[in-house]
Structure 1
Amino acid sequence: MTRPHQEGQAVSSLASNRAFAICLAVILAVLLVYLLASPETFRELRDGFYLGIIPVLTVGGMLVCAISMVFDGKRREPFHSSDEYRLTLPIVGLAIGALLSIYVFYRAILLIGFPLASLLYLAGLMFALGIRAPTVIAIASAVMTALVYAAFSLLGFALPVWPF
């Protein structure tokens, strides 16, 4: 039986962030090799994009994050604590609230268009996360909305700009 991690206590290397990151990186590397070896990944669609571009970019990004976790300053700390597994009403409420907020964001995109809905949604999220400086909220919301819109436009996806 193992005891919960306490400050200053040595942690087994199998229960550390580094061990988790290495396992995750190996799994993602295998998945990336599989995707790159599959001919379906590079099948061109009628709009000129490749079928597997999104999965390859996603797995590649996750692999970069997993590798960075290997060298993280907190790599020797445990990746969980006994308190994290306690399911409480506030945690359930937070999860349900997050899902509902995504639905509201989706409906807002259809109602008022992506740019305005995204600005309002991001501003609301930042405020909910404790950022109170209006200038920071306005600039960050505008920059992130512009970056997401530009990325989707470059990939050939049309986001609704206006509700009509």
Structure 2
Amino acid sequence: MDDYQRTIRTLSDRIVLAQTPIRVLDAVKWDDSIRQGFFKAKGKEMPAVNRDYYLGRPLSFDSGAVKLEFQNIERDITRQLGQFNPVGQIMRRMCKEYRMVVRMLEARGTEDFGLISQELYGAASDAFHAGDPTLADLGLMMSDYLDNIDGRGDLKDEAKT
């Protein structure tokens, strides 16, 4: 491994280590009382999950320290690989996205959570290509296919002889 590869490996290892405490699903999951209330209402009422709910459930990591670490890694990537290095550009983008994830988690229970989430992961109204169906449309199409799959004759098992 040459010096360039070692530099990339070291920076990459720092990114992996810095993102380790970030657990999005753990940070947004509901406790049993919220889940039970949601299903008791048959999903027809919004659960009582807001900013105050999440303030009572702090993140399992120091969000400020994690954001600072990604900022420091991003700075070191630029210093060590240069601003226009293709690998460095990918790594800097990853650092920015991880900082956005942390900001999103800090905004749990607020409108900002949804906005940041859409910026990171996309929205149901997004399309893969101009003029193509949206992600929501594709989901509905898939649901229709799955609902009708049982009635398709070409998928029936042939009689065993």
TM-score, structure 1 normalization:
0.31
TM-score, structure 2 normalization:
0.32
